[in-house]
C-alpha cells in the first residue's frame, strides 16, 4: 500500500481539538445550534458555523449535530477542529524524562502512562513536548510542527518512543516509518479468549461515523487510511488474553480499533467500551474481581514494549526493549491467579 509524504507514519492529522465549549443554562429555550453559537462566539458568521456543522465539527453532549439541532437546557455544546486553537506555543516545563538511550542524533524515551505526548485539546501544558522543550534546544519540527516527534503513543499507553534531535534524523526516521522498516511491538490485555494463536488484521481506519472521538475500521478506502496489525497470543487468562501486537502501519488508536474490530476490545479501554465487563460470569465476586483489576490498572492495558530502527548516522539497527509497567504486571498476575483457581475449582 503506497503512502505519500504527507502520510508519514503516525496520523497527527486525525485529532480534534476543542476550540469552544458552552453549557446551556437551565432556562435555555430550544434554539438552533447555529444561532446559539452565533450569540456566543465572537466574530462568528452563520455560514462558518453551518460549514463547521456540515464537517462534523459541532458536538452536543459528545454527539455530532447538524446546524438545525435545537439546543436545550443543560446541553453541552462544543466546537472541535483539526487544528489546535493556538499553534506553535510550547512552554518549556521541567518534567522528568525516562531516557533509555541518547546520543547527538536520537533519543529513546520510555513514556509513563498518563503523560500526554504533545499539546492538544485540554492538555496544552504538562506534555512530553513541553518536557523536551525544557531539556533540549533546537529540536527539529515534524510536519505538524511538533519538535522532535517522529511518532507517538496515546496518553494512557506506556512505552518506547524515538525522538529526533537533528533535521537529518527527523527525515531519515520518518522515511523508515513510512517504508515500514522499523520494528514496533506492543503488549496488550484484551477481553475474551482470542481463538487463533496468531493473525493479521487489515482494514482502513478513519473517524467513527457517529462518535467523532473514536476511530473505526472500514472496508472502504474512502473512509480511512490503510492499516495492518499482526497479533500473537502470549498467554490465555480465562476471560482475557495477553497478546503481542506488531504494527505495520501507525494509525490513530490502531491496536485499540483493530482488536475491537475482531471482538477483543482492550481491557479497561474506556473510549472503546473496554471499561465494561465484556466477558465472564454474572457472579458478584467476579464483578468485584474485575473492578479491582480496573482499579489496579486504571487505563487501557497497552504498552509499547519493543522499538527497533536503523540509526540515521551509523546505519546500525538498534533494538530497544522495555519492561511491562507495574500496573499491567499486577493486573496480569491477578488474571493468571484467577484463571488457575477457576480451572482448579473445576477439577
Region for 333 from its dihedrals, namely left if φ exceeds 0, alpha if ψ lies in -120 to 50, beta otherwise:
alpha
3-class state of residue 69 by DSSP: coil
Interhelix angle 284-296/326-346, nearest 10 degrees: 160
For residue 20, the cross-strand partners are 79
Find cell 507495574 and name the residue: 326
Region for 159 from its dihedrals, namely left if φ exceeds 0, alpha if ψ lies in -120 to 50, beta otherwise:
left
Contact 338, 289 (CB under 8 A): yes
Catalytic hit among 11, 34, 75, 154: 154
- Whether 154 is catalytic is yes
* CA 301 – CA 314 distance, rounded (Å): 35
Beta strands in 142-182 (DSSP E): 158-164
Q: Which long-range contacts (CB under 8 A, 24 or more apart) does 209-215 make?
A: 210/63, 210/64, 211/62, 211/63, 212/16, 212/56, 212/59, 212/64, 212/80, 213/16, 213/62, 213/271, 214/253, 214/257, 214/271, 214/272, 215/14, 215/251, 215/252, 215/253, 215/256, 215/257
Contact 128, 153 (CB under 8 A): no
For residue 218, the cross-strand partners are 204
Contact 217, 265 (CB under 8 A): no
Contact 157, 252 (CB under 8 A): no
Please give the positions annotated as active site: 154
Amino acid at each position: 500500500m503506497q503512502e505519500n509524504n504527507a502520510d508519514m507514519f503516525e496520523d497527527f492529522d486525525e485529532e480534534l481539538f476543542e476550540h469552544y465549549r458552552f453549557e446551556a443554562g437551565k432556562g435555555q429555550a430550544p434554539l438552533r445550534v447555529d444561532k446559539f453559537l452565533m450569540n456566543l462566539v465572537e466574530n462568528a458568521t452563520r455560514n462558518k458555523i453551518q460549514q463547521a456543522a456540515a464537517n462534523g465539527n459541532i458536538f452536543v453532549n459528545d454527539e455530532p449535530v447538524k446546524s438545525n439541532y435545537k439546543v436545550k437546557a443543560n446541553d453541552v455544546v462544543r466546537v472541535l477542529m483539526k487544528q489546535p486553537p493556538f499553534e506553535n506555543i510550547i512552554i518549556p516545563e521541567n518534567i522528568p524524562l525516562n531516557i533509555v538511550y541518547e546520543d547527538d542524533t536520537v533519543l529513546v524515551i520510555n513514556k509513563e502512562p498518563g503523560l500526554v505526548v504533545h499539546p492538544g485539546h485540554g492538555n496544552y501544558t504538562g506534555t512530553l513536548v513541553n518536557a523536551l522543550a525544557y531539556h533540549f534546544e533546537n529540536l527539529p519540527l515534524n510536519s505538524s510542527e511538533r519538535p522532535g516527534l517522529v511518532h507517538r503513543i496515546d496518553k494512557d499507553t506506556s512505552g518506547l518512543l524515538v525522538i529526533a534531535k537533528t533535521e537529518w534524523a527527523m527525515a531519515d526516521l520518518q522515511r523508515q516509518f513510512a517504508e515500514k522498516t522499523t520494528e514496533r511491538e506492543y503488549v496488550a490485555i484484551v477481553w475474551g479468549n482470542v481463538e487463533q494463536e496468531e493473525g493479521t488484521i487489515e482494514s482502513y481506519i478513519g473517524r467513527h461515523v457517529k462518535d467523532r472521538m473514536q476511530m473505526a475500521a472500514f472496508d472502504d478506502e474512502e473512509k480511512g487510511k490503510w492499516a495492518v496489525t499482526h497479533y500473537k497470543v502470549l498467554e490465555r487468562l480465562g476471560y482475557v488474553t495477553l497478546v503481542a501486537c506488531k504494527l505495520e502501519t501507525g494509525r490513530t488508536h490502531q491496536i485499540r480499533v483493530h482488536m475491537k474490530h475482531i471482538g477483543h476490545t482492550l481491557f479497561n479501554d474506556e473510549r472503546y467500551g473496554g471499561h465494561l465487563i465484556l466477558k465472564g460470569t454474572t457472579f458478584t465476586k467476579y464483578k468485584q474481581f474485575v473492578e479491582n483489576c480496573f482499579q489496579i490498572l486504571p487505563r487501557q492495558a497497552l504498552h509499547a514494549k519493543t522499538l527497533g530502527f536503523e540509526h540515521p548516522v551509523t546505519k546500525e539497527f538498534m533494538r530497544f526493549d522495555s519492561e511491562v509497567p507495574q500496573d499491567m504486571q499486577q493486573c496480569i498476575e491477578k488474571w493468571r491467579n484467577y484463571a488457575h483457581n477457576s480451572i482448579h475449582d473445576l477439577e
